[in-house]
A and B are shown apart, each in its own frame.
Chain A
Amino acid sequence: MRFGDLIRVALSRLGTGKLRTVLTMLGVIIGVASVVALVSVAQGATKGISDRLQSLGTNLLTVSPGFSRTVGTVTRGSFGSATTLTLDDANAISQLNGVATVAPQLSTQKLVIAGTQNETTRVVGTTPGYLSVFAYSMWSGSFLNEASVDASLRVAVIGATTADNLGLTAASVNNTTLYIGGLPFELIGIMQPKGGTTATDDLVLIPVSTAHELFVGSNSVSSIGVSAAAQADISTVSGEITALLEQRHGITNGVDDFTITTQAQLLGTVSSVSDVLTLLLAGIASISLLVGGIGIMNIMLVSVRERTREIGIRKAIGARGRDILSQFLVEALALSLAGGLVGIGVGVVASLGIGIYAGWGFVFNPLTVVVALGFSLIVGIVFGVWPASQAASLDPVVALRYE
């Protein structure tokens, strides 16, 4: 029997029972679509998180006070809560080779009032370097400058979310007085929203010297943002900062009272989490593909029984066992392959919709399609072979007499 004839017979057969064909395919369609969509969702979520991390600044190192001990993948300690880093440390770090900009952060929570609106938010005392270190850009007005830090001016730059919350617009810049912790500040600029978490855009920046004088009595900073001159230098710079701070803090036993985090570390963690997530979702989706395969087997077994007489006729007029076998196998394959193709279409559309809704755009991995299609073919073969061999082994004498 020719291959073209196998295809012809299978297709005409599937065409005569359209509803049943579609219902049988539905199992595979749902299975393949969920594999494609869920893998795409997992990868899209990962991409979304990576993008946000990168929006924080790719050359960024963050030095935080307090130690951390890493046991396996679990980090414990008093990370971020100690008061061992000072403004002097920040100044020393800025002198290192390979360091482009340093932005110490003196953070506190304060009530901020603008006219009749008010909000309690993060108030950060920092230096002009903050803008470039954390990859912000200005939307209106200007950022803090060296002069404002030197003179401890009462000026403030606010994030886009804060501006929204306080009802401030571009027109408000340079003619609005903000009351921060009850003290008047002049609004000199509003930053572009950066996206990512809302917290990134909900903050008030004031000169570090002003914050030190008015709000934070001590000299300690909550963290120091450091941008390396080049991304390649990050590990070198990290090592230099460690050595510098150990020397300045008189640490000799290797138990540091500070922690350096880089974007690379965060990205690495995210990608390992996302790999697990992708695998998990693909695994769950595969179960529905398996169920779809069993659906195919079920319908093929019913079909073999229903068509016993037809099989007998075909054998009487010259079909060999292997002709019958391949006919049923091609039918199962056509079902699973067609289901797989439709499923890929549905999955792509679904992941496109979810991607747009969730805001990470369309993430499409051709490998997923190849794997899903291959998997549906395997499903067709595995679940088609048994019914097909049942059909092929029928005795023509018995099959011809079957009612």
Chain B
Amino acid sequence: MSAATLLGRTSASTEVPPIIHLDNVSRVYDTGRIQVPALQNVNLRVEDGEFLAIIGPSGSGKSTMMNILGCLDRPTSGRYILDGQPVDELDNDGLAYVRSRSIGFVFQSYNLLPRTSALENVATPLMYQGVPHKERLARARAALERLGLGDRLNHEPSELSGGQQQRVGIARALVTEPALILADEPTGNLDSHSGSEVLGLFSDLHALGRTIVLITHDSDVAAAADRIVHLRDGELQEGAAA
């Protein structure tokens, strides 16, 4: 699939398309003998600028949801339109392209590249976009400075605290200016102080108009979002906990 098609908006209507549009999405794991449904007929719309929390206990399909939304995996059936563009039938390279351009990941375990400076870590997504070295270092530096890590540019992950590592992770998610920031238990490995700092950062980003989807099992964390959906046994329910 060409870059032009990938970038093109498919919606012909005049209304602003949602960032995320899941239409009857199911994901079934085929283990050979039995078929395990992880997501069943999920419908979800996330508008531009929304801060959504998807909350659910373990085994509810959170990881599968995260993989589908993050274009790391494809739905077994149903449509997924991300930022106006259908992504459910893309090949691996096409998905990589969408991840590179449209999604910024924030992981529970930070997932920074080991033995690599904070600056290079944040610059890496830009490398895969083909941005020249100097420019991406400048942009990575700006992103880190915005998150208050201007004095930690050359520190490696092992030299940073958990909260600092997660801020590097957020800087890495922001540096490409993606349509969607996808956070998977971003406070799961942090103490409560660092955790609330990170949630505060998400609120700030939301205030700046970023679209954020936060996946968590913790209702206190989910409370930072302005809209909450519940995931239970692979099915999605809007609104307050049942």
CB distance from B151 to the nearest CB of A (A): 22
A5 touches B99 (CB 8 A): no
A309 touches B111 (CB 8 A): yes
Of A72-80, A247-255, A257-265, A318-326, the one with at least 4 CB within 8 A of chain B: A318-326
Q: Tell yes or no: B158 within 8 A of A by CB.
A: no
Q: Tell yes or no: A4 within 8 A of B by CB.
A: yes
B130 touches A1 (CB 8 A): yes
Pick the contact of B113 from A8, A313, A321, A400 — CB < 8 Å? A313
Pick the contact of B125 from A2, A5, A8, A318 — CB < 8 Å? A318
* A contact residues vs B (CB 8 Å cutoff): 1-2, 4-5, 8-9, 12, 16, 309-310, 312-323, 396-397, 400
B72 touches A5 (CB 8 A): no
CB distance from B125 to the nearest CB of A (A): 4
CB distance from B90 to the nearest CB of A (A): 12
CB distance from B186 to the nearest CB of A (A): 14
Interface of chain A, helix or strand or loop or mixed?
helix
Contacts of B92 in A (CB 8 A): 320-321
In the assembled complex, the Cα of A45 lies from the Cα of B132 at a distance in Å of: 54
Pick the contact of B132 from A2, A16, A309, A320 — CB < 8 Å? A2
A317 touches B172 (CB 8 A): yes
- Given A5-B127, A5-B133: A316 and B93 interface contact (C-beta under 8 Å): no
CB distance from A200 to the nearest CB of B (A): 65
- A/B pair count, beta carbons within 8 Å: 67
Scoring B93, B128, B130 by chain A CB atoms within 10 A of each residue's CB, the highest score goes to B128
- Given A310-B113, A310-B114: A316 and B70 interface contact (C-beta under 8 Å): yes
B72 touches A316 (CB 8 A): yes
- Given A8-B133, A16-B115: A317 and B73 interface contact (C-beta under 8 Å): no
A321 touches B114 (CB 8 A): no
Q: Can you name the residue of chain A whose Cβ is closest to the Cβ of B98?
A: A318
Could you jot down 15 A-B contacts, CB within 8 Å? A1-B130, A2-B127, A5-B133, A310-B113, A315-B72, A315-B96, A316-B70, A316-B72, A317-B99, A317-B172, A318-B101, A320-B97, A321-B92, A322-B93, A323-B128
B133 touches A316 (CB 8 A): no
A397 touches B72 (CB 8 A): yes
A318 touches B72 (CB 8 A): no
Contacts of B114 in A (CB 8 A): 310
CB distance from B91 to the nearest CB of A (A): 10
* B contact residues vs A (CB 8 Å cutoff): 67, 70, 72-73, 92-93, 96-97, 99-101, 105, 107, 111-116, 124-125, 127-130, 132-133, 172, 176
Q: Can you name the residue of chain B whose Cβ is closest to the Cβ of A5?
A: B127
Question: 7 nearest interchain CB pairs?
Answer: A318-B100, A318-B128, A320-B96, A317-B125, A313-B111, A16-B115, A320-B93
Scoring A315, A316, A396 by chain B CB atoms within 10 A of each residue's CB, the highest score goes to A316
Contacts of B111 in A (CB 8 A): 309, 312-313, 316, 400
In the assembled complex, the Cα of A230 lies from the Cα of B114 at a distance in Å of: 75
Pick the contact of B124 from A2, A309, A317, A322 — CB < 8 Å? A317
B72 touches A317 (CB 8 A): no
Pick the contact of B105 from A9, A12, A316, A322 — CB < 8 Å? A316
A316 touches B127 (CB 8 A): no
In the assembled complex, the Cα of A313 lies from the Cα of B130 at a distance in Å of: 17
Contacts of B116 in A (CB 8 A): 12
In the assembled complex, the Cα of A310 lies from the Cα of B124 at a distance in Å of: 12
What 7 new A-B contacts, CB under 8 Å, besides A1-B127, A312-B111? A1-B130, A2-B132, A8-B133, A310-B114, A315-B72, A316-B111, A318-B101
A397 touches B128 (CB 8 A): no
A318 touches B129 (CB 8 A): yes
Contacts of A397 in B (CB 8 A): 67, 72-73
B67 touches A319 (CB 8 A): no
Q: Can you name the residue of chain B whose Cβ is closest to the Cβ of A8?
A: B133
B99 touches A318 (CB 8 A): yes
Contacts of B101 in A (CB 8 A): 318
Q: Can you name the residue of chain B whose Cβ is closest to the Cβ of A393?
A: B92
In the assembled complex, the Cα of A315 lies from the Cα of B128 at a distance in Å of: 9
A4 touches B127 (CB 8 A): no
Q: Can you name the residue of chain A whose Cβ is closest to the Cβ of B136?
A: A5
In the assembled complex, the Cα of A320 lies from the Cα of B127 at a distance in Å of: 12
In the assembled complex, the Cα of A400 lies from the Cα of B108 at a distance in Å of: 11
